[in-house]
Structure 1
Amino acid sequence: MRLAAAIVLASLALAPTFARADSDSDWNDCASDDADRIILGCDRIIAEGNERKVNFAIAYYNRGVGYQKKGDHQKAIADFNRSIKINATDPKAFRARGSSYVELGDYERAISDYTETIRLKPDFEGIYYDRGWAYVQLPDYPRALNDYNRAVEADPDNVQLLIDRGNAYAELGDIKHALDDFEKSVALKPDYALGHANRAWALAQLDKHEGAVAAYDEAIKLDPQNPDNLNGRAYSLIKLGQYDGAIADLNAALKLKPDHVNALRNRGWAYWLKNDFTRALADYDAAVKLAPEDPDTLADRAALYDDMSETEKSIADYEKVLAIAPNEGRALNGRAWGLAQKGDLDQALADSDRAVSLLPEEPNARHTRAWIHLARGEVDPALADFDKALALDPDLAGAYADRGRAYEAKGDKDKAITDYEKALSLASRQAYDDKAKAEAAKRLKALGVFVPAANAASSR
């Protein structure tokens, strides 16, 4: 955590500008490294009242540092206030007070003090890092990144700073620059598990899952008791189709942390992809029990229910999601699909329109609306949405099969056959794809096209 470094840097007690021989002992205590000695020594100096004004500012500052070391940040701030009232030109007092504000979660005031520190001393060591970290807590990632850039210029080999800047890039969606920083961090410190884990995460975000698995291997070797790294490696193994390996990692993660919601979700996903709906549902049920208000967990279970042809239960979970997050596009799309399967095409289209407006580049949302238009007999709007869905994702087997039906409805047999054959050539990603491909095989036979048995089978 960045805060610890900020406090250490702030907690440097100062010596007086000069001291009388009879006060040397008090000043030695007031400027020591021990919190109790600092406080008692500074108490005596302040109580005597015989020092120069500037030295009182130092005594209050040092006593504030003592309280800060003991974790009493309210008293620390009170003393820093007194020090600043006497000497408002000391950047160290503003920096120290800002660090205590951070400890109390008052990030706006911390940022104000760090900004004043910079005004008084632009090259104050570590101050841009501190202010950047405080901006992250708001969160204000663009300003945080600006400060982290300044901090890296001054301290390019600071591994934790590179990790934090990488995290800021990631929050802003700039995964490539995030990965660059994580790469630098592990080059500087090869035994840093967090650096390898963050690098693995970034590689996974870029769909470089083989590299992600290798990076997670390093992180797990260095920190084998971290369930998050096991969960992260499992995610990439799932993306690589290595479901059993993923389940083994997730079992290990859940042994370390039985209430790890994301590990339960990912294990449920792996079982789902293995067509083991019973175990998948058990994991999603456990995840929902742990996180009943989490929209993503509910949406995952809703999608599983849909694959299990449990339409009412699917819609019910999507309803829960939308009660929590009314503009959740994935849930609107899912509910639209469920309503369409029930034959409520008007309400389904209303949900689907909203889903597409929220997720205009999501191919599944376009596919859903296309299916609804086709079911309503609106062939041209259906074709427009099918075209868009397949432009966004050319491997949607179900969408090709459904577009084939739309072309048939238009009387374009050749295009229908082309789409049906394309659907059969693609792997299924969900239960609906299998159903759509089975229908495509039937339509091809009806159109007089020979369908090899292997092509008619599911390839999920």
Structure 2
Amino acid sequence: MNVWRKARILLIFFLISSAAYAADFHTGTVISTFDSGDYTYVEFEENGRKDWVATVKTAIGVGEEIRFADSQPMIDFESKPLKRKFDRIWFAAEVVKKESAPAPPDVDSDDPFVSAGAYALEGNYEKALEKYEEHISGNPSDPNGYYLKGNVYNEMQPAFPTPDPTDPESKQYREKVSKQVDAYRKAVELDPHNRLYLQALAQSLQNVHEFNESIAIYKRLALETPKDPSYSVYLGEALSAAQRYREALGAFDTALSLRKDPRTYRLRGAAKDKMGDVEGAMSDYKTGYLLDNSSKYALAPWLLRLFIREKRFDEGIAFYTKVLKTSPKVTDAYGSRGRLWAEKSQFNKAIADYNKAIGLEPDSANYYIVRSDAYVGLKKYQEAMKDAVFACKLSEFYCDFLEDLKKREARGWYWEQFATGRDPKAVYFYSRKDIVRNKGRVLVWSREEHPDDTTQTLADSDEKLSYTVARIEMNCRNRQIRHQKVTFYGADGNSQSYAFEKDDKFESIAPGTIFESLIENLCR
């Protein structure tokens, strides 16, 4: 095969397979293999299931252990050259032995298409766009050029747009996504039946809240592949983003009838929760957790947050205890049960569970932090400090917690009751998730189940002069938010009081904004 042709084929497979699943891999044993044209087709067995993967032509033997990066598989894929149909097949940049590693493409390639992909893989996105434009100018009918150009814009955009449409960062986000949509549209125009291009276009449209068109594409894909649950899941996500939760439930039901998947249970549970069906949400979260409680599906925190939000501590403790009876090495079950013991102020029991979690995952900073917090509840401040120091060494994310402990230690371990006359757990500001410093401002997140308009709240000040902060308060139960700028008074650098105006009202969180993500992370 011509070396440049091989490089181009490899690059297309590499970029497609790494676009959304860069961290996950499939591994299996080769059952059979054959070559056709420039490709090698490999039948392999993984966890008792037989599947196919296609890659650039390479030598692979029966019985070998292989590995390849996960991507969206093609369902009911019909190969006209081979005159056969594959129930499910992946297209991988390279299929290698477990100990092998694929060589990356070369940025100095004479082929701008190969060079563009190489720049994209190393994070030089501006140069990648320049090279893709060069490729497209010479190959205007190549849909892959437009598709991969759209992928570059996807890598360039910020993770979340800011809620203020006049904010420069928000404008920049929309401009990039708009260019991404244009690139994917062109790819679809050139190859209107390519599911990968259609899916990319639908997702980019969803990112700019063009829900109707996005939903229409996913409906088409779901109808074209009735045996593939993936597109029904994507459809459900798009419908949920558009707040069409009842329709979303139908899509998730269809997906689950085809495959019992933990992530789909989580998504359906979230939709039920938005509709006020707490019992339905709890049932789905529990079912998904029992299927797979690893971090891969991010289901564990959703279940724990619901137990805490609904104050169903005993039910949660009983659930995790039952899990541990049959699976005594589920680290999260110990950690989650410990959190619930802590919510009940039974800190010794919480610490006992955290100890077991740490025994299973000694390098997990999170368990040292929650154990530190439990030690604070017991007023064992030195033990709390020791855990916080170790957590900071494991992960910089938790160093703010350590710094806060040091400040409190310097003040004689005076632990303020932030909400006067209320449960001191209702509002607190000592974790990184609660205080975020950005461009000189302090964004203060408070967590209250039933806040009112006259609450006086205390907070720490790092400055010795009065200053203004942006305050954001969330009503976790009703999923509402209010925010305004508030001025601190006084100059002693210690706790200062402030309050909301009485006419400041809570409003529902707008879908698709950063606040929707924040409330999921803060209200737990």
TM norm structure 2: 0.44
Rg: which structure is higher? 1
Question: Which is strand-richer, 1 or 2?
Answer: 2
Q: Which has the higher contact order (CA 8 A, sep 6+)?
A: 2
TM norm structure 1: 0.49
